[in-house]
Chain A
Amino acid sequence: MSLLSDPRWGEALSHLPDYLGNHVRVSLAALALGLTVSLPLAILTRNRPAPRSILLALASIVQTVPGLALLALFYPLLLAATSLTLAWFGVSFSAFGFLPAVLALALYSMLPVLRNGITGLNGIDPALIEAAEGVGMTARQSLVMVELPLALPVMMAGIRTAAVWVIGTATLSTPIGQTSLGNYIFAGLQTQNWVFVLFGCFASAALALAVDQLLGLIESGLRRRSRLRSGLGAAGIAALVAATLVPSMGRSSSGYVVGAKTFAEQYVLSALLRDRLQAAGLPSTARSGLGSSVIFEALKAGDIDLYVDYSGTLWANQLHRTDIKPRAELLAELKTALTNDNVTLLGELGFENAYALVMPKTRAEALDIRTIADLAAHAPKLSIAGDYEFFSRPEWAALQKAYGLSFRAQRQMQPDFMYAAVASGEVDVIAGYTSDGLIAKYDLTALDDPRHAIPPYDAILLLAPKRAGDERLKTALTPLLGKIDIATMREANLRASGNDANSSPDAVAKWLWEKVGKR
């Protein structure tokens, strides 16, 4: 009962028009594009075995690429394409969100449509094609009047499969900036909000089922030559599209978009920024769950207006620097460098979220490990876990170099599961985050970095180029600068990692503002 009366259902429901609407739009656009490409290809290659097998092989290869990777690949691809069109034709387009999602999902939809289309068309009794010719049909008439109608059931089965795949895979378009039902799932996983995860899964499953049934209705209508059935099915799909378009019409598109990466602290901070802007009378929305490499490019391109990043991250990823400087010096240099991209570094929030090697306090004491230098001697017998990007980041290379670290094993983990894993001894050391509330919760300790291999990671507020001169925005945000100390942020993060109504990013953001607003 407590699960059902959880107020987070209500919060999840309040996002539904936005998430579902975007999900329907991106899925149906991708499906429409996929069909527009695949059906003619199936028809063109039905009597040509060589191109047909090449096409099917290519489509199969696309299918073997994991959905998340396929979606992620389209972002840099389009980014390169847009810089080319800008250089050649003086026009650019957004490589963020809708476009890469539609292209990747359309590609994903092609295999079942192609395969079933070709199978359906090739499975027709040759005597009937001969009869079509014999009664005086042209090749085109034979295709339209005989072959396509006869192949329809098999083709529609492929289209239905594609629709279900696309709707399911569209949940993975959240990290490239396309709002979808995946927002529930990504946010829920990051903030351990299982209500959101469940809600997102159910919603996308229900959508997939509904579209599948409507397509089935169209199919049976076409097969039984019942205008009523196919009309009902088509009307159902149209109603679905209309219903998802209407709520988003009234929304102003000129509002500020606050970006957030894929972890709890970012969800909380983006909610906080959004609330501050709204309080100042500036319409704004949060765009959460963006990939770490996507978010800065999205800011530069103006797809989002502001977000919180960390100095060390930009130092390594954007400036490609491997040297380490003291905190203030690094910040000053970063600020200058960012102006080259026309990105404004408005200021620091006051805390640092650095990587730190973390292990249980008792274990560290038992092994007499206080610093990473102490750890190095034990490392060959220990295992380490990090988030999905840590081991490919320059910090890891710097750590290995500075301390000669070499672990027995290294694993990648969902950040929120790392702390529990190291607390239970499943791994010995984790690359955690200094602002994470779970360090205190699980009685862990962050090891000192005497050789300063890890750069400082001050939380900094960045503004998009087009907002560089936006004084109202700056005024609304200034009260936050320097106000959030590490202890407060840890507590906020700990709250966000809970699994109850007070742990939603919105609730924690309100709590955080109550703490720091008075300062």
Chain B
Amino acid sequence: MGLVIPSLGGRVSEVSSRPMPSRTMIGYSHVSKSFGHLKAVDDASLDIAEGEFLAVVGGSGSGKTTLLRLANRLIEADGGTITVEGEEVRNVDPVALRRRIGYVFQSGGLFPHLSVADNIGITPKLLGVATAEIDARIDELLALVQLDRTAHRDRLPEALSGGQRQRVGVARALAAKPRIVLMDEPFGALDPLTRDALGDDYRALHRSLGLTTVMITHDMTEAILLADRIAVMRGGRMLAQGTPVELSKSDDAYVLELLRTPRRQVERLNALLPQSGAA
């Protein structure tokens, strides 16, 4: 008994029992992007299947955020091909592209001068959705991300806790009913309890809504707990990708080290904490 990584085994079997994904929602093929002399993304290739939850793991400066932003053209690629739902992004109007892809920013990225409701409803508003419909959608989303309508709807973001803000961030990303959600270290700045709850809640939303999610994180534990598949980046290059089980068979020392870290932490915790206190 004791502390184990509870869902690791289950998750892996769940993924492997699922039929092979038929459609590529986001495809990177030999993509490069440089900022001056710095190669932020270097010949990276990666396919994300429909319904998949993919985590991109890497240290700071590994190019993971750049990779994410290339998908909705917040950053333009220098070379290679990026497709979203089969279309090459360079042929799609970037504003229209961003409106159909949900994006959760690192520390919420909420507009401080807009209420929770107006933050959530921004993309539908930009798309010209009728006000009544937006209002109904906002209420629906508040329920979905488990925020209290009366207590939070008309608040300004500054009146919310960090966790509540990030729930609003998730709701805003989902407002225009996207099929794809990109998340840039969405839970990184939260305390561990909040972070855990939010991750689980989002994972449930991802499944029930049939989303395709790409999440950036520097935390391998989080990646293993939430994602179906993990892509590891280092120095702009795509080092490895696969399920946690597949990654554990990697021959790359950095990847193996990343994977070993969570287990080692658990072992140290088990040694430090009395068994009964763990509950």
Q: Measuring CB to CB, which residues of chain A are less than 8 angstroms from any residue of chain B?
A: 127-128, 130-138, 141, 145-146, 149-150, 223, 225
If A127-B107, A150-B113 touch, whether A133 touches B122 (CB-CB below 8 Å) is no
Stretch at the interface among B12-20, B98-106, B256-264: B98-106
A contacts with B: majority SS: helix
Asked if A141 and B106 make an inter-chain contact with CB atoms under 8 angstroms apart, the answer reads: no
> Contacts A135-B98, A136-B95, A136-B98; is A141 near B109 (CB within 8 Å)?
no
Q: Which of B99, B106, B111, B112 has the most CB of A within 10 A?
A: B111
Residue of A127, A137, A145, A223 touching B105 (CB-CB under 8 A):
A127
Q: Which residue of A lies closest to B175 (CB)?
A: A135
Q: B212 on the interface (CB 8 Å rule)?
A: no
Docked pose: A70 CA to B184 CA in angstroms: 55
Q: B32 in the interface, Cβ–Cβ < 8 Å?
A: no
CA distance A133 to B172 in the complex (A): 14
Smallest CB-CB separation from B105: which chain A residue? A131
| B109 engages A136 (CB within 8 Å) | no
Q: Are B111 and A131 in contact (CB under 8 A)?
A: yes
Question: Chain B residue with minimal CB distance to A131?
Answer: B109
Measured between alpha carbons, how far is A133 from B110 in the docked complex, in Å?
A: 12
What 0/1 readout, one digit per residue, does chain B (106-138) give for beta carbons within 8 Å of chain A?
110111110000000011001100000000000
Please name all residues of chain A whose beta carbon is closer than 8 Å to the beta carbon of B204 when the two chains form the complex: none
Query: A-contacting residues of B (Cβ < 8 Å)?
Result: 72, 74, 95-96, 98-99, 103, 105-107, 109-113, 122-123, 126-127, 172, 176
- Nearest to B182 among chain A residues (CB) is A134
Residue among B95, B103, B111 making CB contact with A138, cutoff 8 Å: B95
A-B contact pairs, 18 of them (CB 8 A): A127-B105, A127-B109, A128-B109, A128-B112, A130-B74, A130-B105, A132-B111, A133-B74, A133-B98, A134-B109, A135-B98, A135-B123, A136-B96, A137-B122, A138-B95, A146-B113, A150-B113, A225-B113
Q: Is the CB of A135 within 8 A of B107?
A: no
| Residues of chain A within 8 A of B109, CB atoms compared | 127-128, 130-131, 134
Check A135/B112 contact, CB under 8 A, given A130-B74, A130-B105: no
Which of chain A's residues has its CB closest to B100's CB? A136
Cα–Cα, bound, A423→B54 (Å): 95
Q: Cβ of A137: which chain B residues have Cβ within 8 Å of it? A: 95, 122, 126
Tell me the minimal C-beta distance from A141 to chain B in angstroms: 7
Are A134 and B113 interface neighbours, CB within 8 A?
no
Q: How far apart are the CA atoms of A329 and B226 in the complex, in Å? A: 107
Bound complex: CA A128 to CA B99 (Å): 16
Q: CA–CA, A146 to B106, complex, Å?
A: 18
Cα of A428 to Cα of B105 in the assembled complex, Å: 79
Q: In the bound complex, what is the Cα–Cα distance between A150 and B111 (angstroms)?
A: 9
Residue among A128, A130, A131, A150 with max Cβ neighbours from chain B (10 Å):
A131
Return chain A residues, CB-CB under 8 Å to B111.
128, 131-132, 145-146, 150
A96 to B105 alpha-carbon distance, docked (Å): 58
**In the complex, chain A residues whose CB is within 8 Å of the CB of B72:** 134
List A contacts of B107 (CB < 8 A).
127
The reply to whether A136 and B123 contact each other, CB–CB distance below 8 Å, is yes
Query: Which one of A128, A135, A150, A225 lies within 8 Å of B126 (CB-CB)?
Result: A135
For residue A133, which residue of chain B has the nearest CB?
A: B74
In the complex formed, the residue of A with least CB distance to B110 is A131
Contact (Cβ within 8 A) B99 A136: yes
* Closest beta carbon of chain B to A138's beta carbon, Å: 5
Q: State A179–B250 Cα separation when bound (angstroms).
A: 86
Distance between Cα atoms of A483 and B150 in the complex (Å): 87
The distance in angstroms between the C-alpha atoms of A120 and B190, with both chains bound, is: 30
How far in angstroms is the closest Cβ of chain B from A67?
Answer: 36
Cα A131 to Cα B186 with chains together (Å): 13
13 further A-B contacts with Cβ under 8 Å, apart from A131-B111, A132-B111, A134-B105, are: A127-B109, A128-B109, A131-B109, A133-B74, A134-B98, A135-B99, A136-B126, A136-B176, A137-B122, A145-B122, A146-B111, A149-B113, A150-B111
Within the complex, the shortest CB–CB distance from A365 to chain B, in Å, comes to 79
Q: Could you tell me the distance between the alpha carbons of A135 and B113 in the complex, rounded to whole angstroms?
A: 16
Asked if B98 contacts A150 (CB within 8 A), the reply is: no
Q: Are B172 and A135 in contact (CB under 8 A)?
A: yes
User: Closest approach, in angstroms, between the C-beta of B233 and any C-beta of chain A?
Assistant: 21
Q: Which residues of B contact A128 (CB under 8 A)?
A: 109, 111-112
Which residue of B is nearest A125, CB measured? B112
Q: How far is the CB of B20 from chain A (nearest CB, A)?
A: 32
Contacts of B172 in A (CB 8 A): 135
Q: Which residues of A contact B123 (CB under 8 A)?
A: 135-136
A135-B106 contact given A128-B111, A149-B113, CB 8 Å threshold: no
B259 → A minimal CB distance (Å)? 31
Tell me the bound Cα distance from A150 to B110 in angstroms: 12
Q: Which residues of A contact B106 (CB under 8 A)?
A: 127
Which A residues are CB-close (under 8 A) to B127? 136
Check A134 against B112 for contact (C-beta < 8 Å).
Answer: no
Q: CA of A141 to CA of B127 in the docked complex: distance in angstroms?
A: 12
A134 vs B180: C-alpha distance when bound (angstroms):
13
In the docked arrangement, what's the CA distance between A225 and B113, Å?
Answer: 9
Chain B residues contacting A135 (CB-CB under 8 Å) are 98-99, 103, 122-123, 126, 172
Which chain B residues lie closer than 8 Å to A133 at the CB level? Answer: 74, 98
A138: B residues at CB distance < 8 A:
95
With both beta carbons as reference points, the residue of chain B lying nearest to A139 in the complex is identified as: B95
CA distance A132 to B122 in the complex (A): 9
A134 B126 Cβ-Cβ under 8 A: no
Q: How far is the CA of A137 from the CA of B110 in the complex (A)?
A: 14
- CA–CA, A138 to B176, complex, Å? 16
Residue in A closest to B113 when the chains form the complex, CB atoms: A149
Min C-beta distance of B35 to chain A, whole Å: 15
CB proximity of B184 to chain A, nearest CB, Å: 9
- Report the bound CA distance from A149 to B119 in whole Å: 14
- Bound together, the chains give a CA A126 to CA B98 distance in angstroms of 18
- A102-B106 Cα distance, complex, nearest whole Å: 49
Q: List residues of chain A with CB within 8 A of the CB of B112.
A: 128, 150
Q: How far is the CA of A29 from the CA of B107 in the complex (A)?
A: 45
Q: Which residue of A lies closest to B73 (CB)?
A: A133
**Min distance, Cβ A417 to any Cβ of chain B, angstroms:** 55
CA distance A136 to B173 in the complex (A): 11
Complex alpha-carbon distance, A223 and B106, angstroms: 26
Bound: A138/B98 CA distance, A: 10
A134, B95: Cβ atoms under 8 Å?
no
What residues of A have a CB within 8 angstroms of the CB of B122 in the complex?
135, 137, 145
CB distance from A229 to the nearest CB of B (A): 15
Residues in B with CB closer than 8 Å to A132 are 111
**A-B residue pairs, 4 tightest by C-beta:** A131-B109, A136-B99, A136-B98, A134-B103
In the complex the two chains form, what is the Cα distance from A223 to B114 in whole Å? 10
Whole-angstrom distance between the Cβ of A120 and the nearest chain B Cβ: 13
A130, B69: Cα distance in complex, Å: 11
Residue of chain B at shortest CB distance from A132: B111
Kindly state the separation between the CA atoms of A132 and B127 in the bound complex, as whole angstroms: 14
Least distance between B157 CB and chain A CB atoms (Å) = 11
Q: Bound complex: CA of A225 vs CA of B156, how far in Å?
A: 11
Q: How far is the CB of A127 from chain B (nearest CB, A)?
A: 6
**Chain A, Cβ-Cβ closest to B126:** A136
B74/A141 in contact, CB under 8 A: no
Q: Which residue of B lies closest to A223 (CB)?
A: B113
Residue of A nearest to B125 (CB): A145
B72, B110, B126, B172: which has the most chain A beta carbons within 10 Å? B126
